[in-house]
Chain A
Amino acid sequence: MSDQTKPWLESRLPLAASFRAHVSERQLAHNRPYLAALGTLIVGTLIFLALSGFVLSLYYVAVEGDAYNSIQVIMRGVNDGWLIRGFHATGTTMLFGLVYLSIFRALITGAYRVPGELVWMLKLIFLLMILLIGYLGYALEDGAVSYWSLHQVTLAGAQLSSFPGNISNWFFGGPAGQGTLARLAVMHGLLAFMAFGVLALHYYAKQAIAVAPKRTVSLHPYYTSHHFVAAAVFVLLFAVLVFYAPHLGENPLNAVAANPLVVPTVVTPPWYLLPVSAFSTMFPGAKGGIIGVIAAFAVLFAVPWLDRSPKDASPGLFYKFLVVVLGLDVFALGCTTADGPSLINSILTTVFIGWYFLHFLVLTPLATARESK
């Protein structure tokens, strides 16, 4: 670039100034826990998922019946297709792992408190989006389990047809039929790109409320090398899963082609959807399922206002203990759901769901109010 084009470009498109402000001359707090790399890893994993999803979309056929066969072609015929699909499946597992961890960290550190409510809500919106994207990806597999799951979901959606308008039909194209998978494939990719937008909003919201640190270091090399170590550990775990357990936490019954005449014995989603699946069985009926999921997310969104602690008070030990118990509770909820229906599982599921709402609606206000005295 000549001496004249540089200022010409910079005055019209200040990329260099933006790069200096956000990267090369950026000053950050000198203490940096490894969990600070979570955001970087989430963005990286989402990019990785977008790239592998792009390659898969070139070979995937979004037609009922043919979809399953096209996945078999990807696994056997496409050069390194098995690896790309392994990347995509494991990438999903890792993304959910990171996001659940990030939400757990925000809960236990009280990051959702004033002025962090919007950052917290954007986190939850991102979780909601990737849950939906994850569900769509699971439905796109067109296996024996996801086929039936999709039919259940579209039938549940059909119950909402009178309110407010035919949302379910717009999204699914009516009860699951020939055109449904094509819609879901487009939605899957479109929502994934919108998720990048939510991440950007989260980044800016977090910047806006960030407290200026007293002692600072530059982004490079202190944060880059630090995140490099976190990324190396992350990639190692990623690689182990890709090569040894690419379909970790998926229902093995879903590896068989869908059969419209045979319902599989256990209809359970991949591990990252299990808690949502549990909440959807909280009340009977299709409408009850929708209400259950909305209720589970409503209490999460309400956490900043359920927390009664005064401003600038860090969470007490008892509250932190409760959050750890909540994490175990949600994990156990997933386990009982994955196991399939039985008397003991339905009792345990009820107990765990009860504890979940007890934690947010009763224990959180009480514990935070008591500890702040």
Chain B
Amino acid sequence: MANAAVHAVDDEVEAPAKRDFLKILTVSAGAVALGATAWPFINALNPTAAELAVSNPIIDVGAIAPNTAMRIVWLGQPIYIRKLTPQQIADNEYIVPDTLPDPASYTDRVKPGYESFVVVVGLNTGISCELLGNSPTDPRGPFDGWSCPCDGSVYDPLGRVRGGPARKNLAIPRFTFLSDTQIQFG
């Protein structure tokens, strides 16, 4: 039996280009196969369709009365969907943003075409207490918005901070209007 090492040297002298080509072909095929095998493992770590459906709820907002807010829980956080009255819109529409602690104009806080709806995360941005003010009978603070029972921060109906230890406006979740009466989160 001839020595295997001698064989290898002969082959390389005979057809180096062919050998290189076969080597590149084999390694590429192996890499593609490895990638194709790894894909289902990684894809299985993605959330399932059922989990995704839960995380993109569609909410009917047609029944919300003006001057009240609806509370839902989305991804573990309280979300307030508030319908403004014409008076609240008039009060807040022309305030110069630069006079506010966290400057934001009226149009920054609502979706174009649906200006009477304000959708915010109902947690105080100072210390994370849930805010009061969804019902007209709740303590809403001097700006007729929301107030925090823990540190006394106050917000206007657009969710902009107006006073108290908090310095930031209420966060606005990701959502889109599907129609005049339906919004989808996520």
Binding site for B on A (CB under 8 A): 30-31, 51-52, 55, 58, 73, 77-81, 83-84, 87, 215, 217, 221-222, 228, 235
Query: Which of these, B8, B30, B45, contacts A55 with CB under 8 Å?
Result: B45
Q: Is residue B40 contacting chain A, with contact meaning CB distance below 8 A?
A: yes
Report if B21 contacts A (CB, 8 A): no
Residue of B nearest to A225 (CB): B26
Q: Does B3 contact A (CB under 8 A)?
A: yes
**B40 & A84 in contact (Cβ 8 Å cutoff):** yes
Chain B residues near A87 (CB, 8 Å)? 40
A25 CB, nearest partner CB in chain B, Å: 15
Question: A81 and B44: CB pair below 8 A?
Answer: yes
Do residues A30 and B4 form an inter-chain contact, with CB atoms below 8 A? Answer: yes
Kindly list chain B residues whose C-beta atoms are within 8 Å of the C-beta of A84.
40-41, 44
Chain B residue contacts of A55, Cβ below 8 A: 41, 44-45
CB < 8 Å: which of B4, B30, B44 contacts A79? B44
- Residues in A neighbouring B26, C-beta threshold 8 A: 228
Are A79 and B48 CB-contacts (below 8 A) given A217-B5, A228-B26?
yes
15 contacts between A and B (CB under 8 A): A30-B5, A55-B44, A58-B44, A73-B48, A78-B44, A79-B43, A79-B46, A80-B43, A80-B44, A87-B40, A215-B3, A217-B5, A221-B8, A228-B26, A235-B33
A30 to B33, CA, bound (A): 29
> How distant is the Cα of A124 from the Cα of B94 in the complex, in angstroms?
83
Shortest CB-to-CB span from B20 to chain A, Å, is 13
The binding surface of chain A is classed by DSSP as helix
B135 to chain A, nearest CB (A): 39
Give the nearest-CB partner of A83 in chain B. B40
Q: Contact: A52 with B41, CB < 8 Å?
A: yes
The reply to whether A80 and B3 contact each other, CB–CB distance below 8 Å, is: no
Check B3 against A77 for contact (C-beta < 8 Å). no
Q: Is B73 an interface residue (CB 8 A)?
A: no
Contact assessment for B49 and A30 in the assembled complex, using a CB-CB cutoff below 8 Å: no
Q: For B90, what are the chain A residues with a Cβ–Cβ distance below 8 Å?
A: none
What mask results when residues 56 to 86 of chain B are scored 1 for a CB within 8 Å of chain A, else 0? 0000000000000000000000000000000
Determine how close the nearest CB of chain B comes to the CB of A255; give it in whole angstroms.
21
- Asked if residues B41 and A51 are in contact (CB atoms below 8 Å), the reply is yes
Q: How far is B3's CA from A73's CA once the two chains are assembled, in angstroms? A: 56
Q: B50 at interface (Cβ–Cβ under 8 A)?
A: yes
Are B3's CB and A78's CB within 8 A?
Answer: no
Closest-CB distance, B122 to chain A (whole angstroms): 32
- CB closest residue in chain B, given A87: B40
- Report which of B5, B33, B39, B50 forms a contact with A77, defined as CB distance below 8 A: B50
User: Tally of A-B residue pairs with Cβ under 8 A?
Assistant: 43
Other A-B pairs beyond A55-B44, A58-B45, A78-B48, 16, CB < 8 Å: A30-B4, A31-B1, A55-B45, A73-B50, A77-B48, A77-B49, A77-B50, A79-B40, A79-B43, A80-B44, A81-B44, A83-B40, A84-B41, A221-B8, A228-B30, A235-B33
A91 to chain B, nearest CB (A): 12
Residue of B nearest to A217 (CB): B4
Q: What CA separation (Å) do A78 and B3 show in the bound complex?
A: 53
Q: Which residues of B contact A228 (CB under 8 A)?
A: 26, 30
CB distance from B50 to the nearest CB of A (A): 6
Contacts of A58 in B (CB 8 A): 44-45
Q: How far is the CA of A87 from the CA of B41 in the complex (A)?
A: 10
Query: B4–A222 contact, CB under 8 A?
Result: yes
Q: Shortest CB–CB separation between residue A55 and chain B, in angstroms?
A: 5
Q: Which residues of A contact B50 (CB under 8 A)?
A: 73, 77
**Residue numbers in A under 8 Å from B4 (CB-CB):** 30, 217, 222
* Contact code string B8-38 (vs A, CB < 8 Å = 1, else 0): 1000000000000000001000100100000
Q: In the complex, which residue of chain B has the Cβ closest to the Cβ of A82?
A: B40
Of B1, B3, B43, most A-chain CB atoms within 10 Å: B43
B33 — which chain A residues lie within 8 A by C-beta?
235
CA distance A73 to B46 in the complex (A): 14
A80 & B40 in contact (Cβ 8 Å cutoff) = yes
A73 to B26, CA, bound (A): 38
Q: How far is the CA of A84 from the CA of B45 in the complex (A)?
A: 11
Nearest-Cβ distance from residue A243 to partner chain B, whole angstroms? 12
Residues in B neighbouring A222, C-beta threshold 8 A: 4, 8
> CA separation between A228 and B50, bound complex, in Å?
41
A51 to B1 alpha-carbon distance, docked (Å): 42
B5 nearest in chain A by CB position: A217
A residues near B41, Cβ cutoff 8 Å: 51-52, 55, 84
User: Please, how many angstroms separate the alpha-carbon atoms of A35 and B8 in the complex?
Assistant: 22
CA distance A66 to B54 in the complex (A): 21
Distance of A154 Cα from B39 Cα, bound (Å):
39
The chain B residue sitting closest to A74, CB to CB, is: B44
Cα of A129 to Cα of B41 in the assembled complex, Å: 26
Q: Provide the bound-state CA to CA distance between A297 and B25, in Å.
A: 47
In the bound assembly, the distance between CA atoms of A215 and B50 in angstroms comes to: 61
A45–chain B nearest beta-carbon distance, Å: 13
Q: How far is the CA of A69 from the CA of B1 in the complex (A)?
A: 60
CB distance from A239 to the nearest CB of B (A): 9
- With CB as the reference atom, state the residue of chain B lying closest to A48: B37
Name which residue of chain B comes closest to A52, CB basis: B41
Assembly CA distance A77 to B44 (angstroms): 10
